[in-house]
Amino acid sequence: MVTPSVDARIAHLGCRTGYPDPQVLARLPDAHLYGWDRSVPAVELARVKQQALGVPMEYATTEDGSNPFPEGAFSHVFSIHPTVPRKPLLHEFYRLLAPAGQALIALPLRGSFLEIADLLREYALRHDVHELPPALDRLALERPTPEILAAELEAAGFGFVDVEVRPQKLVFRSARDLFEDPISRLFVLPEFAHFGDVALRYVREAIDKYFSESDFELSLFVACASGRR
């Protein structure tokens, strides 16, 4: 979905450890990429990876999500599974983009990660944690549908909005694989971390119990959305 551009300037908001920045640069020759994130350890790791690859990427930390660049500084702005509210993020996308610049966002849609939610509901039922099911319902509703995401991009001022849905199955041989997988640690587990260590330990033990003779498959519906300023 990335629009070709000569000498592109790319902003990655919420860059974490810099994934998938090298792949983005491979599609945009002569581009330069700038990334921001609140996590100091994540940014430090992104810098280590950049130095090893020797590609034109720069990373910085930000406490409030702001960045030092003026309006219209970038040809492309993107974020993958942002952890901040989408409305202000999309408005920041619009501010940073030059006219005709492209915004890109990828995130899980409603219906993702139901297998983990089901195990947490089982935990709540067995241990009388009455507040957990409503919290899971709220979390599920926070994830957009394709129509909601398209409307949010249009409300932020973007035109030529396109949303692609890419269903996936994440396959893990064990709970340990799930909980130690780098992608899971970045994009899946943080969504459920606030339910507490005890609840997540139940999930871990349940996966190993129920799927001892088979793989654990996690449903993921990814929205890849694009808009032009």
Whether pTM > 0.75 for this model: the answer is yes
The SS3 of residue 189 is helix
Q: Where in the chain is the domain with CATH 3.40.50.150?
A: 9-106+144-156+223-228
| Among candidate residues 28, 142, 34, 157, the one with its CA nearest the CA of residue 92 | 157
First to last CA, the chain: 15
The SS3 of residue 1 is coil
- The topology (CATH level 3) of 9-106+144-156+223-228 is Rossmann fold (3.40.50)
- Each residue's pLDDT, cut to its tens digit, for the chain (229 residues) gives 898 888 899 999 999 999 899 999 999 888 999 999 998 999 999 999 999 988 899 999 987 667 789 999 999 999 999 988 999 999 999 999 999 999 999 999 999 999 999 999 999 999 999 999 999 999 999 999 999 999 999 999 999 999 999 999 999 999 999 999 988 887 788 889 999 999 999 999 999 999 999 999 999 999 999 999 9
For helices 132-142 and 114-127, the axis angle rounded to 10 degrees is 160
CA–CA dist 197, 218 (Å, integer): 20
